[in-house]
Amino acid sequence: MTPTLPRTVRVVDTAHLLALAQEAAIHSFSQRLPVDWLREHLAAEGTHYLFPTLVQRLTHHPERALQWRCQQLLTVNTGEQIWGLLDVLPDTFDKIPETLDTASKKDIVSRIERAVTVREWRERMGAEAGS
């Protein structure tokens, strides 16, 4: 039986997000950003948000653990918030404290929906660096 996907938003700081990305890398999860890229571009004192949106079970790799595919709202070192994806183990996600009220969660989901993607942000930053 597949666990029920939590319909919530969790808050993590940069150190915690880096640990989650490292865990995703160790498990070779498909949706993750490189830890070194995150370390370079995330705001050191940033706040980041995870919103589970999909139960990820790799039927072609049954040895791999079930994952929550989370949309993430990342605060980067320019002060902007950008959208990405991160696969997280359900037990790992469940250990992140629940700290937001309902209105705050709705606001975060709305901000995720409007945020530029990591790819768009990278392209824009590359274009700005070249000018």
Tens digit of each residue's pLDDT (9 = 90 or more) over 101-129 = 999 999 999 999 999 999 999 998 876 76
CA distance 74 to 90: 20
Tens digit of each residue's pLDDT (9 = 90 or more) over 40-81 = 999 999 999 999 999 987 665 666 678 999 999 999 999 999
Is residue 2 scored above 90 in pLDDT?
A: no
Q: Residue 69 in contact with residue 63, Cβ under 8 Å?
A: no
Look at residue 27 in the predicted model and tell me its pLDDT.
Answer: 86
Look at residue 15 in the predicted model and tell me its pLDDT.
Answer: 97
The string of DSSP codes covering 43-92 is -TT-EEEEEEEEEE--TT-TTSPPEEEEEEEEEBTTS-EEEEEEEE-HHH
From the list 111, 94, 102, 14, the residue with the least C-alpha distance to 52 is 94
